[in-house]
């Protein structure tokens, strides 16, 4: 199995990533006195392979492909670390398990949910930032982030 610790499969046409994600994660961990283990590296790598939009159990399954052994607990613990590091974002859903999305270095967008098929797509919505900031400014708040979910069905 490949050693994910030094790979960087994250490539987006839209914007230039100056630093591999794994380096970001490693630095964040080190700054908190935490360790960059093979499990954590492998999990981040798998998230990138999944195109950055996934559920915890699907991630676990993918991580285990090829015989890599990880526990559910480690996956959940790593997801929380990645969330805290601002690399991914947890997206809670109705009557379903949470989804997670890669967000680091991407412009904040929306989740488009096809209510017929359950299919989920990530959409860029740059103008949301202005809307959000205006709402916060009016109340003397500093925006920390936002999340938009759009539900739709085929015509």
36 near DNA, judged by CB under 7 A: yes
CB 62 within 8 A of CB 51: no
148 near a second copy, judged by CB under 8 A: yes
- Determine phi and psi for 84, rounding to 5 degrees: -60, -30
Task: Draw the binding track, 103-122, toward a second copy (x: CB under 8 A; -: no contact).
Answer: -------x-x-xx-------
The residues near 70 (Cβ < 8 Å, ≥ 6 apart) are 39, 42, 43, 60, 63, 64
Among 9, 27, 92, 107, indicate the residue that binds a second copy (CB under 8 A).
92
Angle between helices 21-31 and 38-49 (to 10 degrees): 140
C-beta atoms surrounding 54 within 10 Å: 22
Which partner from the list a second copy, DNA, none does 104 bind, CB cut-off 5 to 8 Å by kind? none
Taking the complex as a whole, the smallest distance from the CB of residue 15 to a second copy amounts, in Å, to 20
CB 21 within 8 A of CB 7: no
Binding residues for DNA, rule CB under 7 A, total: 27
Summarize as ranges the residues that interact with a second copy (CB under 8 A): 90, 92-95, 98, 110, 112, 114-115, 123, 125, 127-128, 131-132, 135-136, 139-155
Summarize as ranges the residues that interact with DNA (CB under 7 A): 29, 33-40, 55-57, 69-74, 76-80, 95-98
């Amino acid at each position: 199995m490949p050693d994910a610790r030094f790979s960087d499969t994250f490539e987006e046409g839209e914007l230039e990533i100056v630093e591999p994600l794994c380096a970001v994660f490693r630095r964040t961990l080190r700054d908190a006195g935490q360790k960059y283990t093979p499990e954590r590296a492998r999990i981040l790598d798998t998230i990138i392979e999944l195109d950055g939009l996934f559920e915890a159990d699907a991630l676990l399954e993918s991580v285990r492909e090829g015989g890599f052994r990880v526990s559910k607990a480690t996956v959940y613990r790593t997801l929380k670390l990645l969330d805290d590091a601002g690399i991914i974002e947890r997206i809670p859903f109705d009557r379903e398990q949470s989804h997670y999305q890669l967000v680091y270095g991407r412009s904040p967008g929306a989740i488009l949910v096809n209510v017929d098929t359950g299919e989920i797509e990530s959409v860029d919505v740059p103008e949301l930032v202005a809307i959000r900031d205006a709402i916060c400014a009016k109340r003397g708040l500093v925006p920390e982030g936002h999340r938009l979910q759009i539900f739709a069905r085929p015509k």
